[in-house]
Amino acid sequence: MDATFGRGGHSRLILSRLGPQGRLVAFDRDPDAIAEASRITDARFSIRHEAFHHLCELPAQSAAGVLMDLGVSSPQIDNPARGFSFRFDGPLDMRMDTTRGESVAQWLATADVQQIAEVIRDYGEERFAVQIAKAIAARRQERGPVSTTTELAQLVAGAVKTREPGQDPATRTFQALRIFINAELEELQQALEASLDVLQPGGRLVVISFHSLEDRIVKQFIAANSREVFDRRAPFAAPKPMKLKALDRIKPSAAEVAGNPRSRSAIMRVAERTTA
């Protein structure tokens, strides 16, 4: 299972190494990803236009491997029309699936200061969240809602007094709004739980994350399922066996970062489904 097809880099490599009887099922909620997947004519491949928590709908123990490459893809970032990046001027959208749901601009047009501040603080770990939220609300009252990426980036820059060297003041705010509008952390938690049912004994779970909130969820999930669970209410009962065995935590090499600077924050965690 390639749970995050993107533009198909992982899927194509998996297919190149897959046996003739193998099957690869991919998921993506981005219409552009679905269009790209239609170019793959391999009969062993299929894709579902769905968020990857729909892994839970697949047959139990039907997968030898589940791969999740989290976050926004490079083509999404580089397309101004998608609104993911403060480096390009475009509509403030940020939806992974542009066919459904509310855009960031639509949400910011109605959310109150407390709601905006909580999202920016909780999903972006931004210490100036309240100041940014107040700036957005003041702008909305004076000149109407924020509707473009440039407008939002400028508002944030005016509200953020200090920032780490080399980091744009808008980085954390854009990250927070994207994660929130796409319910990315909730999606990840549901998909991880689903993977336990879908994976065969000995099957591998591989998750690549790019920021601390995602990696923390993955790390804690693997850790929680890599130990026996004792029921305190029944101290003499046999413990529930562990469901995963943590195998590795891998970071990109210096050469990989040099070739692809966006990989510098990536962490790949690998675990194996036990026979329990």
- Give the strand pairing for 267-273 and 244-250: antiparallel
Question: What's the average model confidence in pLDDT over 188-216?
Answer: 95
What's the confidence (pLDDT) of residue 214? 94
Same-domain status, 247 and 188 = yes
pLDDT computed for residue 164 by the predictor? 72
Q: Bridge-partner residues for 2, per DSSP? A: 26, 67
Two tokens at 209?
């994350």
At 233, the pLDDT band (50, 70, 90 cuts) reads low
Give Cβ neighbours of residue 203 (< 8 Å, ≥ 6 apart).
61, 63, 64, 65, 66, 272, 273
More confident of the two residues 261 and 207 = 207
Using alpha carbons, select from 133, 28, 30, 127 the residue that is nearest to residue 84.
30
Domain match, 56 and 190 both: yes
* 8 Å CB contact between 247 and 271: yes
* CATH classification of the domain holding 119: 1.10.150.170
Q: What is the CATH classification number for the domain harbouring 56?
A: 3.40.50.150
Q: Is a pLDDT exceeding 80 seen at residue 239? A: no
Q: What DSSP string runs through the chain? A: -BS--TTSHHHHHHHHH--TT--EEEE---HHHHHHHTT---TTEEEESS-GGGGGGSPTT-EEEEEEE-S--HHHHH-GGG---TTS--BS---SSTTSS--HHHHHTT--HHHHHHHHHHHH--TTHHHHHHHHHHHHHHH----BHHHHHHHHHHH-----TT--TTHHHHHHHHHHHTTHHHHHHHHHHHHHHHEEEEEEEEEEE-SHHHHHHHHHHHHHTSS-B--TTSTTSPPBPPSEEEEEEE---HHHHHH-GGGTT-EEEEEEE---
Statement to judge: residues 155 and 204 lie in one domain: no
Mean pLDDT for the chain overall: 91
Which pLDDT value is given to residue 165? 73
Range of weakest confidence among 119-133, 153-167, 168-182, 183-197: 153-167
Last residue of a domain, one of 152, 181, 210: 181
> Last residue of some domain: 181, 213, 239?
181
What pLDDT, in 10s, does the model give residues 83-108? 888 888 999 999 999 888 999 999 99
Residues 6+ apart with CB under 8 A from 7: 33, 36, 73, 74, 75
> Number of folded domains in the chain?
2
Does 89 map to a domain? no
Of 181, 201, 224, which residue constitutes the final position of a domain?
181
Is 200 inside any structural domain?
A: yes
pLDDT at 227 over 90: no
Res 238: pLDDT: 60
- At 203, is the pLDDT very low, low, confident or very high (cuts 50, 70, 90)? very high
Mean pLDDT, rounded, for 36-59: 94
**Residues 6+ positions from 47 with CB-CB distance below 8 Å:** 5, 25, 26, 27, 28, 33, 34, 37
In the predicted model, is pLDDT for residue 81 greater than 60? yes
Nearest in space to 77 (alpha carbons), one of 174, 173, 157? 174
Task: Give mean pLDDT, residues 1-20.
Answer: 95
Q: Are residues 63 and 30 in the same domain?
A: yes
Q: Are residues 169 and 189 in the same domain?
A: no
Instruction: Tell me, yes or no, whether 63 and 196 share the same domain.
Output: yes
pLDDT given at position 228: 67
Which pLDDT value is given to residue 232?
A: 64
Per-residue pLDDT at 225: 93
Band (29; pLDDT cuts 50, 70, 90): very high
Q: Is the pLDDT confidence value at 236 over 90?
A: no
Q: For position 189, what pLDDT does the model report?
A: 96
pLDDT of residue 77: 84
Is the pLDDT at 242 greater than 90, yes or no?
no
pLDDT of residue 276: 61
Bridge partners of residue 45, in order along the sequence: 24
Q: Cα–Cα distance between 178 and 101 in angstroms, integer?
A: 13
Provide the residue range defining the domain that includes 238.
Answer: 9-74+184-273
Q: Are residues 130 and 102 in the same domain?
A: yes
Q: By percentage, how much of the chain surpasses pLDDT 70?
A: 95
Asked if pLDDT for residue 231 goes beyond 60, the answer is: no
Choice among 28-37, 75-84, 208-217 with the minimum mean pLDDT: 75-84
